Amino acid sequence: MREEASALAHGAATIVNAIATKKGAAFGVDLHTKAQVKLTDEPQVIETEIMSDTAESPILSQKTVTAVLKRFNLEKEFGAKVKTWSNIPIARGLKSSSVAANAVVLATLSTLGKSLEDLEIVKLGVLSALEAKVTITGAFDDACASYFGGLVVTDNLNCKLVKQEALNDDEYIILFQIPPKKMYTVNTDTSKLSTIKPQIEKAYNMAIDGLYWEALTLNGQSYSTALGLNTKIATAALSAGARAAGLCGKGPTTTAVVSKDYVEQVRAVWQGFEGEVIQASLNHEKAKVFA
Protein backbone atom coordinates (compact mmCIF):
# COMPACT_ATOMS: atom_id res chain seq x y z
CA MET A 1 0.00 0.00 0.00
CA ARG A 2 1.21 3.48 -0.85
CA GLU A 3 0.19 6.80 0.64
CA GLU A 4 -0.05 8.44 -2.78
CA ALA A 5 0.06 7.47 -6.47
CA SER A 6 -0.48 9.05 -9.86
CA ALA A 7 -1.71 7.64 -13.16
CA LEU A 8 -2.24 8.86 -16.69
CA ALA A 9 -4.83 7.95 -19.32
CA HIS A 10 -4.95 9.23 -22.88
CA GLY A 11 -7.86 10.72 -24.79
CA ALA A 12 -10.15 9.26 -27.44
CA ALA A 13 -12.33 10.29 -30.34
CA THR A 14 -15.58 8.92 -31.76
CA ILE A 15 -15.95 6.72 -34.80
CA VAL A 16 -19.46 5.51 -33.93
CA ASN A 17 -21.38 7.06 -31.04
CA ALA A 18 -23.14 4.35 -29.03
CA ILE A 19 -26.06 6.42 -27.75
CA ALA A 20 -28.44 5.46 -30.58
CA THR A 21 -27.73 1.72 -30.76
CA LYS A 22 -25.66 0.87 -27.63
CA LYS A 23 -22.81 -0.20 -29.92
CA GLY A 24 -19.85 2.03 -30.63
CA ALA A 25 -16.34 2.51 -31.93
CA ALA A 26 -13.57 4.94 -30.99
CA PHE A 27 -9.83 5.49 -31.30
CA GLY A 28 -7.12 6.79 -28.99
CA VAL A 29 -5.46 10.19 -29.27
CA ASP A 30 -2.54 11.64 -27.34
CA LEU A 31 -4.46 14.15 -25.26
CA HIS A 32 -4.38 13.09 -21.61
CA THR A 33 -5.54 13.34 -18.01
CA LYS A 34 -3.34 12.79 -14.97
CA ALA A 35 -4.85 11.78 -11.62
CA GLN A 36 -3.16 11.87 -8.24
CA VAL A 37 -4.80 9.98 -5.38
CA LYS A 38 -3.76 10.21 -1.72
CA LEU A 39 -5.43 7.96 0.84
CA THR A 40 -6.72 9.44 4.09
CA ASP A 41 -8.09 8.05 7.35
CA GLU A 42 -11.46 9.75 6.82
CA PRO A 43 -13.74 7.01 5.42
CA GLN A 44 -16.30 8.09 2.79
CA VAL A 45 -14.72 11.56 2.48
CA ILE A 46 -13.39 12.01 -1.07
CA GLU A 47 -12.00 15.49 -1.68
CA THR A 48 -11.42 16.36 -5.33
CA GLU A 49 -9.67 19.22 -7.10
CA ILE A 50 -10.03 19.44 -10.88
CA MET A 51 -7.01 21.61 -11.48
CA SER A 52 -7.68 22.30 -15.17
CA ASP A 53 -11.32 23.40 -14.65
CA THR A 54 -12.08 24.15 -11.00
CA ALA A 55 -15.73 24.96 -11.72
CA GLU A 56 -16.49 21.36 -12.73
CA SER A 57 -18.30 18.91 -10.47
CA PRO A 58 -16.11 16.50 -8.46
CA ILE A 59 -18.75 13.76 -8.43
CA LEU A 60 -17.09 11.50 -11.04
CA SER A 61 -13.82 11.28 -9.10
CA GLN A 62 -15.74 10.69 -5.88
CA LYS A 63 -17.78 7.87 -7.39
CA THR A 64 -14.69 6.35 -9.01
CA VAL A 65 -12.56 6.24 -5.87
CA THR A 66 -15.52 4.87 -3.91
CA ALA A 67 -16.06 2.12 -6.51
CA VAL A 68 -12.45 0.98 -6.19
CA LEU A 69 -12.55 1.02 -2.38
CA LYS A 70 -15.82 -0.96 -2.41
CA ARG A 71 -14.31 -3.50 -4.80
CA PHE A 72 -11.93 -4.45 -1.98
CA ASN A 73 -14.32 -3.78 0.94
CA LEU A 74 -12.19 -0.84 2.08
CA GLU A 75 -14.74 1.97 1.86
CA LYS A 76 -15.08 2.04 5.67
CA GLU A 77 -11.34 2.27 6.19
CA PHE A 78 -10.19 5.00 3.81
CA GLY A 79 -11.12 8.28 2.22
CA ALA A 80 -9.01 10.07 -0.35
CA LYS A 81 -7.78 13.36 -1.72
CA VAL A 82 -7.83 13.47 -5.51
CA LYS A 83 -6.29 15.95 -7.93
CA THR A 84 -6.64 15.79 -11.71
CA TRP A 85 -4.90 17.71 -14.46
CA SER A 86 -5.97 17.51 -18.11
CA ASN A 87 -5.48 19.11 -21.51
CA ILE A 88 -8.86 17.74 -22.65
CA PRO A 89 -11.63 20.36 -22.75
CA ILE A 90 -14.52 19.26 -20.52
CA ALA A 91 -18.10 18.77 -21.80
CA ARG A 92 -17.16 19.15 -25.47
CA GLY A 93 -17.62 15.52 -26.55
CA LEU A 94 -13.92 14.72 -26.12
CA LYS A 95 -14.27 11.82 -23.65
CA SER A 96 -12.97 13.79 -20.68
CA SER A 97 -15.06 11.75 -18.23
CA SER A 98 -13.95 8.35 -19.53
CA VAL A 99 -10.30 9.41 -19.50
CA ALA A 100 -10.51 10.83 -15.98
CA ALA A 101 -12.24 7.71 -14.67
CA ASN A 102 -9.51 5.46 -16.10
CA ALA A 103 -6.76 7.57 -14.54
CA VAL A 104 -8.48 7.76 -11.15
CA VAL A 105 -9.14 4.00 -11.03
CA LEU A 106 -5.49 3.22 -11.79
CA ALA A 107 -4.14 5.72 -9.28
CA THR A 108 -6.48 4.47 -6.56
CA LEU A 109 -5.53 0.84 -7.22
CA SER A 110 -1.87 1.78 -6.97
CA THR A 111 -2.30 3.49 -3.60
CA LEU A 112 -3.98 0.34 -2.31
CA GLY A 113 -1.31 -1.94 -3.75
CA LYS A 114 -4.00 -3.79 -5.69
CA SER A 115 -4.28 -4.92 -9.30
CA LEU A 116 -7.15 -5.93 -11.56
CA GLU A 117 -7.54 -7.22 -15.11
CA ASP A 118 -7.60 -4.46 -17.72
CA LEU A 119 -11.26 -4.83 -18.63
CA GLU A 120 -12.28 -4.86 -14.97
CA ILE A 121 -10.44 -1.55 -14.53
CA VAL A 122 -12.31 -0.11 -17.50
CA LYS A 123 -15.65 -1.41 -16.22
CA LEU A 124 -15.12 0.18 -12.80
CA GLY A 125 -14.70 3.53 -14.53
CA VAL A 126 -17.76 2.94 -16.71
CA LEU A 127 -19.88 2.06 -13.70
CA SER A 128 -18.67 5.16 -11.90
CA ALA A 129 -19.50 7.38 -14.88
CA LEU A 130 -23.01 5.93 -15.00
CA GLU A 131 -23.49 6.52 -11.28
CA ALA A 132 -22.18 10.07 -11.63
CA LYS A 133 -24.64 10.60 -14.52
CA VAL A 134 -21.97 11.99 -16.83
CA THR A 135 -22.77 9.42 -19.53
CA ILE A 136 -25.84 7.84 -21.12
CA THR A 137 -24.44 4.47 -22.23
CA GLY A 138 -21.49 4.19 -19.87
CA ALA A 139 -19.21 5.07 -22.80
CA PHE A 140 -17.50 1.67 -22.76
CA ASP A 141 -16.19 2.36 -26.27
CA ASP A 142 -14.58 5.65 -25.23
CA ALA A 143 -13.20 4.12 -22.04
CA CYS A 144 -11.59 1.23 -23.96
CA ALA A 145 -10.05 3.55 -26.57
CA SER A 146 -8.68 5.71 -23.77
CA TYR A 147 -7.36 2.80 -21.72
CA PHE A 148 -5.88 0.61 -24.47
CA GLY A 149 -5.15 3.13 -27.21
CA GLY A 150 -5.58 2.21 -30.86
CA LEU A 151 -8.98 1.52 -32.34
CA VAL A 152 -11.79 -0.35 -30.59
CA VAL A 153 -15.25 -1.53 -31.61
CA THR A 154 -17.55 -2.39 -28.71
CA ASP A 155 -20.91 -3.65 -27.53
CA ASN A 156 -21.57 -1.07 -24.82
CA LEU A 157 -24.71 -2.70 -23.50
CA ASN A 158 -22.80 -5.87 -22.59
CA CYS A 159 -19.42 -4.20 -21.97
CA LYS A 160 -17.88 -6.40 -24.65
CA LEU A 161 -14.77 -5.51 -26.61
CA VAL A 162 -15.63 -6.73 -30.12
CA LYS A 163 -12.54 -5.63 -32.05
CA GLN A 164 -9.17 -3.98 -31.44
CA GLU A 165 -6.75 -2.74 -34.06
CA ALA A 166 -3.63 -0.63 -34.26
CA LEU A 167 -3.70 2.34 -36.58
CA ASN A 168 -0.82 3.79 -38.61
CA ASP A 169 0.61 6.50 -36.38
CA ASP A 170 2.42 8.28 -39.19
CA GLU A 171 -0.39 8.49 -41.70
CA TYR A 172 -2.82 10.95 -40.08
CA ILE A 173 -3.03 13.96 -37.82
CA ILE A 174 -6.20 14.48 -35.78
CA LEU A 175 -7.72 17.95 -35.57
CA PHE A 176 -10.54 18.98 -33.24
CA GLN A 177 -12.68 22.07 -33.80
CA ILE A 178 -13.97 22.98 -30.35
CA PRO A 179 -16.82 25.49 -30.00
CA PRO A 180 -16.76 27.58 -26.82
CA LYS A 181 -20.07 26.36 -25.37
CA LYS A 182 -20.12 23.25 -23.17
CA MET A 183 -22.64 20.46 -23.81
CA TYR A 184 -23.16 17.89 -21.06
CA THR A 185 -23.97 14.36 -22.21
CA VAL A 186 -26.68 13.90 -19.58
CA ASN A 187 -28.65 16.75 -21.21
CA THR A 188 -28.70 15.13 -24.65
CA ASP A 189 -32.25 14.65 -25.96
CA THR A 190 -32.06 11.00 -26.96
CA SER A 191 -35.65 11.02 -28.24
CA LYS A 192 -34.32 12.69 -31.38
CA LEU A 193 -32.06 9.76 -32.18
CA SER A 194 -34.55 7.02 -33.06
CA THR A 195 -34.70 8.22 -36.67
CA ILE A 196 -30.97 7.73 -37.24
CA LYS A 197 -30.63 4.17 -35.92
CA PRO A 198 -30.38 2.68 -39.45
CA GLN A 199 -27.52 5.05 -40.35
CA ILE A 200 -25.70 4.32 -37.11
CA GLU A 201 -26.12 0.56 -37.58
CA LYS A 202 -24.61 1.03 -41.02
CA ALA A 203 -21.72 3.05 -39.59
CA TYR A 204 -21.10 0.37 -36.96
CA ASN A 205 -21.00 -2.35 -39.62
CA MET A 206 -18.58 -0.21 -41.61
CA ALA A 207 -16.31 -0.06 -38.56
CA ILE A 208 -16.53 -3.85 -38.15
CA ASP A 209 -15.49 -4.17 -41.81
CA GLY A 210 -12.53 -1.82 -41.40
CA LEU A 211 -14.07 1.23 -43.06
CA TYR A 212 -13.31 3.33 -40.00
CA TRP A 213 -13.07 6.77 -41.54
CA GLU A 214 -16.17 6.33 -43.68
CA ALA A 215 -17.99 5.26 -40.51
CA LEU A 216 -16.76 8.34 -38.64
CA THR A 217 -18.07 10.68 -41.33
CA LEU A 218 -21.47 8.96 -41.62
CA ASN A 219 -21.87 8.82 -37.85
CA GLY A 220 -20.99 12.47 -37.43
CA GLN A 221 -23.32 13.68 -40.15
CA SER A 222 -26.18 11.59 -38.74
CA TYR A 223 -25.83 12.72 -35.13
CA SER A 224 -25.27 16.37 -36.08
CA THR A 225 -28.44 16.38 -38.16
CA ALA A 226 -30.50 14.66 -35.45
CA LEU A 227 -29.26 16.93 -32.67
CA GLY A 228 -29.49 20.14 -34.69
CA LEU A 229 -25.74 20.80 -34.60
CA ASN A 230 -23.66 22.54 -37.24
CA THR A 231 -22.76 20.15 -40.09
CA LYS A 232 -20.85 22.85 -41.98
CA ILE A 233 -17.74 22.41 -39.82
CA ALA A 234 -17.28 18.79 -40.91
CA THR A 235 -18.22 19.59 -44.51
CA ALA A 236 -15.62 22.36 -44.63
CA ALA A 237 -12.92 19.99 -43.37
CA LEU A 238 -13.82 17.38 -45.98
CA SER A 239 -13.79 19.99 -48.73
CA ALA A 240 -10.32 21.08 -47.56
CA GLY A 241 -8.96 17.55 -47.91
CA ALA A 242 -9.72 15.75 -44.64
CA ARG A 243 -9.90 11.96 -44.91
CA ALA A 244 -12.86 11.96 -42.51
CA ALA A 245 -14.73 14.47 -40.40
CA GLY A 246 -17.69 14.36 -38.06
CA LEU A 247 -19.13 15.06 -34.65
CA CYS A 248 -17.13 13.77 -31.69
CA GLY A 249 -19.35 12.18 -29.08
CA LYS A 250 -22.56 14.14 -28.63
CA GLY A 251 -20.70 17.30 -29.61
CA PRO A 252 -20.17 20.10 -29.97
CA THR A 253 -16.59 19.23 -31.03
CA THR A 254 -15.92 18.09 -34.59
CA THR A 255 -13.10 15.64 -35.35
CA ALA A 256 -11.13 15.65 -38.59
CA VAL A 257 -8.75 12.89 -39.62
CA VAL A 258 -6.23 14.57 -41.90
CA SER A 259 -3.14 13.46 -43.80
CA LYS A 260 -0.13 15.65 -43.07
CA ASP A 261 -0.33 17.27 -46.50
CA TYR A 262 -3.74 18.80 -45.74
CA VAL A 263 -3.44 19.80 -42.08
CA GLU A 264 -2.88 23.49 -42.75
CA GLN A 265 -5.71 23.65 -45.30
CA VAL A 266 -8.19 22.16 -42.83
CA ARG A 267 -6.92 24.36 -40.03
CA ALA A 268 -7.32 27.42 -42.25
CA VAL A 269 -10.98 26.74 -43.14
CA TRP A 270 -11.75 26.04 -39.49
CA GLN A 271 -10.47 29.45 -38.51
CA GLY A 272 -13.72 30.77 -39.94
CA PHE A 273 -15.76 29.07 -37.20
CA GLU A 274 -16.11 30.20 -33.61
CA GLY A 275 -13.93 28.28 -31.18
CA GLU A 276 -10.42 26.82 -31.13
CA VAL A 277 -8.57 24.11 -33.05
CA ILE A 278 -6.56 21.47 -31.18
CA GLN A 279 -4.12 19.12 -32.88
CA ALA A 280 -3.42 15.59 -31.68
CA SER A 281 -1.80 12.38 -32.85
CA LEU A 282 -3.07 8.81 -32.71
CA ASN A 283 -2.27 7.04 -29.45
CA HIS A 284 -1.46 3.38 -28.84
CA GLU A 285 -0.14 3.57 -25.28
CA LYS A 286 -2.12 1.98 -22.47
CA ALA A 287 -3.15 3.98 -19.44
CA LYS A 288 -0.43 3.67 -16.79
CA VAL A 289 0.67 4.36 -13.24
CA PHE A 290 3.78 6.53 -13.30
CA ALA A 291 4.50 7.60 -9.72
Each residue's pLDDT tens digit, 11-52: 999 999 999 999 999 999 999 999 999 999 999 899 999 887
Where residue 210 falls (left for φ over 0; alpha for ψ -120 to 50; beta otherwise) is: left
pLDDT of 220 > 90? The answer is: yes
Query: What band does 251 get if pLDDT is binned at 50, 70 and 90?
Result: confident
Residue % of the chain over a pLDDT of 90 = 78
Q: What is the pTM of this model?
A: 0.94
Sheet with 244-247, edge to edge strand ranges: 244-247, 254-259, 172-178, 276-280
More confident call, 133 vs 165: 165
- Asked whether the predicted pLDDT for residue 219 surpasses 70, the reply is yes
| Residue range 228-248: mean pLDDT, rounded | 96
Is 70 exceeded by the pLDDT of residue 183?
A: no
Q: Tell me, what DSSP letter sits at residue 196?
A: G
What pLDDT score does 51 carry? 87
What average pLDDT does this structure show over 241-268?
96
102-114: average pLDDT? 96
Residue 68 in this model has a pLDDT that exceeds 80: yes
Question: Quick count: other Cβ atoms within 10 Å of Cβ 85?
Answer: 16
Average pLDDT over residues 64-73: 96
Q: Residue 186: pLDDT band by 50, 70, 90 thresholds? A: low
pLDDT at res. 264: 97
Q: Give the distance between the most distant pair of CA atoms in the chain.
A: 58
